[in-house]
């Protein structure tokens, strides 16, 4: 798969609808800093492509999944190959039905997955900032057609069938990469410095995960990783929180198949 000025055509496009920003001056300052850094990096990529003898090739063998530090998730199992990379954008969901001193209870997550495979293969430095950049734009719809501010298209959906069972549906009208019910295999805390939430306000980035698919998965999907998380953590206690609430987040999802 070849790409001619791919960065300009895919990543520079604006969202399908006008983005919603926070209104405070401090929040706007953070958003502008994050977005300015993103577009400066993007501009350098576009200029570099203009000077290339040929367009870059989307070779998934060149994509390298990030690892957390100081502790890392176990690597993909021997014999598996990278099948897909997506940016997930949605909400982590919580319950606060106990007393105010209790910690919120996780109710799972809902997210739309956007195809970032070629970004991972060609521009890993751009990929690494996309979760934080995407988080700066309010969700106008959980199923937005493209990921703000890029033009990455939907490749699937992520949700939970119960409190402990994440599901990934990559069999969409745009792609047919498989469907998987998963179980958690391992987790590590997000590295220090990961985006805590929108406008740098929030309670932290959710953990990085390694998931194993359960029986019945299609598309030969075997393992799923959640890395480079941005936001999603709840407050430490339920003080002042409603019975149920959502915390917006974004993350990279890496899918490995046999």
Instruction: Tell whether the model's pLDDT for residue 18 goes beyond 80.
Output: no
The parent domain of residue 177 ranges over 6-257
Name the band, by pLDDT with cuts 50, 70 and 90, for residue 14.
very low
Tell me whether residue 129 is in a domain: yes
Tell me whether residue 158 is in a domain: yes
Name the band, by pLDDT with cuts 50, 70 and 90, for residue 79.
very high
Name the band, by pLDDT with cuts 50, 70 and 90, for residue 15.
very low
Mean pLDDT, residues 11-22 taken together: 37
Mean pLDDT, residues 86-111 taken together: 94
How many structural domains is the chain composed of? 1
The pLDDT assigned to 49 comes to 63
Question: Three-state SS string across the chain, please?
Answer: CECCCHHHHHHCCCCCCCCCCCCCHHHHHHHHHHHHHHHHHHHHHHHHHHCCCCCCECCHHHCCCCCCCCCCCCCCCCCCEEEEEEEEEEEEEEECCCCCCCCCEEEEEEEEEEECHHHHHHCHHHHHHHHHHHHCCCCCCCCCCECCCCCCEEEEEEEEEECCEEEEEEECCCCEEEEEEEEEEEEECCCCCCCCCHHHCCCCECCEEEEEECCCCCCCEEEEEEEEEEEECCCCCCCCCCCEEEEEEEEEEEEEEC
The pLDDT assigned to 70 comes to 74
- Note the pTM of the prediction, 2 decimals: 0.85
Instruction: Tell whether the model's pLDDT for residue 32 goes beyond 70.
Output: no
Between 16 and 147, name the one with better pLDDT. Answer: 147
Tell me whether residue 1 is in a domain: no
Mean pLDDT, residues 192-213 taken together: 91
Between 76 and 48, name the one with better pLDDT. Answer: 76
């Amino acid at each position: 798969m070849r790409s001619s000025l791919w960065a300009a055509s895919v990543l520079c496009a604006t969202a399908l609808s006008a983005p919603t920003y926070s209104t405070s001056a401090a929040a706007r300052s953070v958003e502008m800093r994050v977005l300015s850094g993103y577009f400066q990096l993007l501009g350098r990529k576009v200029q570099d492509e203009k000077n290339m003898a040929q367009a870059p090739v989307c070779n998934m063998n060149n994509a390298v999944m990030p690892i957390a530090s100081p502790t890392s998730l176990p690597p993909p199992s021997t014999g598996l190959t990278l099948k897909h990379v997506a940016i997930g954008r949605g909400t982590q969901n919580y319950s606060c039905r106990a007393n105010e001193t209790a910690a919120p209870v996780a109710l799972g997550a809902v997210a739309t997955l956007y195809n970032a495979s070629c970004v991972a293969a060609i521009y890993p430095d751009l990929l690494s900032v996309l979760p934080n950049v995407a988080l700066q734009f309010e969700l106008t719809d959980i199923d937005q057609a493209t990921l703000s501010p890029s033009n990455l298209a939907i490749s699937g959906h992520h949700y939970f069938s119960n409190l402990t069972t994440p599901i990934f549906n990559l069999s969409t009208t745009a792609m047919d990469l498989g469907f998987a019910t998963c179980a958690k295999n391992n987790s590590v805390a997000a590295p220090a410095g990961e985006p805590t939430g929108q406008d740098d306000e929030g309670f932290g980035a959710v953990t990085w995960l390694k998931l194993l698919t359960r029986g019945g998965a299609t598309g030969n999907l075997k393992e799923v990783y959640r890395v480079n998380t941005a936001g999603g953590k709840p407050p430490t206690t339920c003080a002042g929180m409603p019975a149920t609430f959502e915390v917006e987040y974004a993350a990279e999802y890496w899918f490995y198949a046999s």
